[in-house]
C-alpha cells in the first residue's frame, strides 16, 4: 500500500462510518418522534382521562416532560407525523421486541395490532398503498415506510407535513430520496412548484434530469446540524448554526463595535433562535436600545445582496412586533449587512413604521450606513 492509497483508505473509512453514524441518529430521532405521536393519539383515543384531549393535553405533556426539544410545537409535529404516516409502525416490531421501547401491555398490544393491520404488499423501493387508518386504504401511493425512515431526515419529513395532497406528498418523498435532497433543496423544489411543473411538462423526464443536475444533495453534516438532531442529542442550541471564520470574526467585532458607540445599545442575544410555524430561524445579533425603546435585529450575510435576505429580515421584524414587543416598546428595527469582497451594503428595515418617522427619529441614535459600511470594509481588509 502506497501513501496515496493509505490516505484514500482513511478518508473512505471516515466517510463510510460518518454516514452510518448520522443515519443511525436520524433513524432514532424519526422513530422517537413517531412513537411520541403514536402514544399521544393512543392516549386520546383509549386513555382513561378523556377530558384532556387536544391542545390542552399537549400543553400539559410539554410542561410535565423534562426533555430538551419536547415543546408544544414539537408535540404537535409528532402527533401530525403519526397521523400522516401510520404505516411506519410496521418497521418497529423489532424495536419493541428488543425491549428498548418500554410501554404498557395495552400500548404494546395496540401497537402490534396496528402493525398487522398496516402491512403493505410490494418490494422495498416500489410505490405502495398508504393507509390513513388501520382499516382504511387510500387510492394513492407512498414509499415503503422502512425506506422513508432510512432515507429521509426528520427535517425533510417535516417539510412534507403541510402538503395535503397525498399524491403530491408521495411525489416529493420519491424525488427527495432519489436526489438525496437537503432540506433547503426540498423546500426550494416545493416552492418552485416542481410537482405542478412536472405535470404540465411535455417532457417530464427532461425536467427531472435538469432538476437532478442542479439539486443540492444532502450531506451527513446537514443531519447533525439540524435543530431537531441537536435537541435530540442534548447539545447546545447555539451550536446548531455553523458559521465560517469570517462570519464569526465579523459578528464578534460588530457586537463590540456597537456597544462601544455609546448610543444605548444593550446586548440581548447572539444567534437568537425563534420558531415560526414549524421552522427554526436564527437572528445573528439582537440588541435592545434603551433610548429608542425598541429591539434592534442585525442580520449579517457574507454574500451579495439578495431580495430573499431583506424578506427574511422583515419576517424577523414582524415576529418580534407580534410576539416580543411590549406595550411601551416602539416597533423593532432591522439592520441588514451584506458583504461582497471589499464592498459592503447596509440596509435598514422597520416593522410597519412610517419611513419619514423612522428617518427623523431613529437615525439620530442608530449608527449611520456609512459607519457600518466602513466597519465591514475595514474588517474584511483586516481579515
> In terms of domains, do 223 and 245 share one?
no
> In terms of domains, do 304 and 361 share one?
yes
Residue 318 lies in a domain: yes
Cβ neighbours of residue 274 closer than 8 Å, sequence gap 6 or more: 280, 281, 282, 283, 316, 319, 323
Q: What gap in Å lies between CA 184 and CA 206, rounded to an integer?
A: 22
Alpha helix locations (H) across the chain?
Answer: 3-46, 54-64, 72-84, 93-97, 105-117, 145-151, 154-161, 166-178, 183-191, 194-200, 204-214, 220-224, 227-233, 245-260, 307-319, 355-357, 369-382
> In terms of domains, do 347 and 210 share one?
no
> In terms of domains, do 248 and 350 share one?
yes
Q: What gap in Å lies between CA 159 and CA 2, rounded to an integer?
A: 46
Q: Total structural domains in the chain?
A: 2
> In terms of domains, do 249 and 344 share one?
yes
> Which residues does residue 297 pair with via DSSP β-bridges, in sequence order?
286, 334
Between CA 104 and CA 111, with CA 106 as vertex, the angle to 5 degrees is: 95
Q: What gap in Å lies between CA 64 and CA 220, rounded to an integer?
A: 33
Residue 161 lies in a domain: yes
> In terms of domains, do 252 and 314 share one?
yes
Is there a contact between 162 and 190 (Cβ–Cβ < 8 Å)? no
* Per-residue model confidence as pLDDT tens for the chain (383 residues): 687 887 788 888 888 887 787 778 888 889 999 999 988 888 877 655 554 566 788 888 888 888 877 888 888 899 999 999 988 888 776 555 544 444 445 544 554 444 444 443 333 333 343 434 333 334 345 678 888 888 898 989 999 998 988 888 888 998 899 888 888 888 888 888 888 888 877 777 777 777 777 777 766 666 666 767 767 766 665 544 444 556 677 777 787 777 777 678 888 888 888 888 878 888 988 989 888 888 989 888 877 777 778 888 888 999 998 899 998 998 888 888 887 655 677 777 766 655 555 556 666 677 777 778 777 777 766 65
What is the value of pTM for the model shown? 0.60
Residue 355: give the domain boundaries. 241-382
Question: DSSP state, 338?
Answer: E
Answer with the one of 195, 229, 263 that is the final residue of a domain: 229
> In terms of domains, do 155 and 284 share one?
no
> In terms of domains, do 203 and 256 share one?
no
Residue 236 lies in a domain: no
> In terms of domains, do 83 and 179 share one?
yes
> In terms of domains, do 87 and 116 share one?
yes
> In terms of domains, do 247 and 216 share one?
no
pLDDT for residue 124: 36
> In terms of domains, do 198 and 61 share one?
yes
Amino acid at each position: 500500500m502506497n501513501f496515496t492509497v493509505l490516505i484514500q483508505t482513511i478518508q473512505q473509512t471516515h466517510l463510510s462510518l460518518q454516514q452510518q453514524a448520522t443515519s443511525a441518529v436520524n433513524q432514532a430521532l424519526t422513530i422517537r418522534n413517531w412513537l411520541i405521536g403514536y402514544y399521544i393519539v393512543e392516549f386520546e383515543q383509549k386513555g382513561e382521562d378523556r377530558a384532556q384531549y387536544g391542545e390542552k393535553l399537549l400543553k400539559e405533556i410539554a410542561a410535565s416532560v423534562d426533555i430538551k426539544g419536547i415543546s408544544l410545537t414539537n408535540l404537535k409535529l409528532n402527533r401530525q407525523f403519526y397521523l400522516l404516516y401510520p404505516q411506519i409502525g410496521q418497521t418497529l416490531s423489532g424495536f419493541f421486541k428488543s425491549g428498548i421501547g418500554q410501554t404498557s401491555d395495552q400500548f404494546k398490544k395496540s401497537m402490534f395490532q396496528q402493525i398487522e393491520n398496516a402491512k403493505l404488499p410490494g418490494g422495498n423501493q416500489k410505490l405502495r398503498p398508504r393507509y390513513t387508518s388501520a382499516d382504511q386504504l387510500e387510492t394513492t401511493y407512498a414509499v415503503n415506510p422502512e425506506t422513508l425512515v432510512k432515507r429521509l431526515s426528520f427535517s425533510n419529513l417535516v417539510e412534507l407535513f403541510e402538503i395535503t395532497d397525498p399524491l403530491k406528498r408521495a411525489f416529493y418523498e420519491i424525488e427527495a430520496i432519489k436526489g438525496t435532497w437537503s432540506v433547503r433543496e426540498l423546500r426550494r423544489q416545493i416552492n418552485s412548484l416542481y410537482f405542478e411543473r412536472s405535470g404540465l411538462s411535455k417532457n417530464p423526464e427532461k425536467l427531472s434530469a435538469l432538476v437532478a443536475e442542479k439539486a443540492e444533495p444532502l450531506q451527513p453534516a446537514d443531519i447533525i446540524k439540524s435543530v431537531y438532531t441537536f435537541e435530540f442529542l442534548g447539545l447546545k442550541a447555539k451550536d446548531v448554526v455553523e458559521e465560517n471564520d469570517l462570519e464569526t470574526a465579523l459578528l464578534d467585532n460588530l457586537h463590540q463595535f456597537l456597544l462601544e458607540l455609546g448610543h444605548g445599545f444593550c446586548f440581548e442575544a447572539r444567534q437568537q433562535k425563534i420558531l415560526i410555524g414549524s421552522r427554526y430561524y436564527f437572528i445573528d445579533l439582537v440588541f435592545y436600545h434603551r433610548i429608542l425603546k425598541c429591539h434592534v435585529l442585525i442580520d449579517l450575510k457574507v454574500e451579495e445582496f439578495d431580495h430573499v435576505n431583506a424578506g427574511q429580515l422583515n419576517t424577523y421584524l414582524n415576529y418580534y412586533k407580534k410576539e416580543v414587543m411590549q406595550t411601551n416598546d416602539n416597533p423593532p428595527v432591522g439592520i441588514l449587512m451584506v458583504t461582497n469582497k471589499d464592498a459592503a451594503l447596509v440596509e435598514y428595515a422597520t416593522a410597519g413604521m412610517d419611513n419619514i418617522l423612522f428617518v427623523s427619529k431613529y437615525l439620530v441614535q442608530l449608527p449611520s450606513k456609512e459607519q457600518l459600511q466602513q466597519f465591514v470594509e475595514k474588517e474584511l481588509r483586516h481579515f
